[in-house]
């Protein structure tokens, strides 16, 4: 099994060939190709390459499948005795990337 650990937007993701990863919203059109070149680790069968901090010459080729929203969360602030109530919400936006290939040198 071939996979890689990639970094995007300060977060790390496990990218498996022919798999899907959800990253923070990227301003890229659906169907476009994205190359993630900040690869921290690659594993191919029994070969392991660990970067310091990144693996030289390694990249992950992906394509944008869709832009999606996570379920809404409700944030409710309350202070007893002060008649203080604030209700807000948040809905995070994500980009779904399909991993096409993991390139190692």
- Looking at the structure of the chain, the number of domains it has is 1
Residue 72 structural domain: 2-103
Q: Once rounded to an integer, what is the mean pLDDT over residues 26-55?
A: 92
- 96 near 68, Cβ under 8 Å? yes
Gap between the Cα atoms of 102 and 73, Å rounded: 35
Q: What pLDDT, on a 0 to 100 scale, did the predictor assign at position 85?
A: 97
Q: Once rounded to an integer, what is the mean pLDDT over residues 90-101?
A: 96
Q: What pLDDT, on a 0 to 100 scale, did the predictor assign at position 104?
A: 87
pTM score: 0.82
- 23 near 11, Cβ under 8 Å? yes
The three-state secondary structure class of 27 is coil
Q: Exposure string (b/e) for 7-41, b if CB count within 10 Å is 16 or more? A: bbeeeebebeeeeebebeebeeeeeeebebebbbb
Q: What pLDDT, on a 0 to 100 scale, did the predictor assign at position 71?
A: 97
């Amino acid at each position: 099994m071939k996979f890689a650990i990639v970094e995007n937007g300060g977060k790390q993701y496990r990218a498996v060939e022919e798999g899907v990863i959800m990253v923070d919203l990227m301003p890229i059109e659906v169907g476009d190709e994205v190359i993630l070149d900040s690869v921290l680790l690659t594993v191919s069968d029994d070969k392991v390459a660990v970067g310091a901090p990144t693996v030289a010459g390694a990249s992950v080729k992906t394509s944008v499948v869709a832009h999606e929203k996570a379920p809404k969360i409700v944030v409710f602030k309350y202070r007893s005795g002060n008649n203080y109530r604030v209700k807000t919400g948040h809905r995070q936006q994500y980009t779904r990337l399909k991993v096409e290939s993991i390139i190692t040198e």
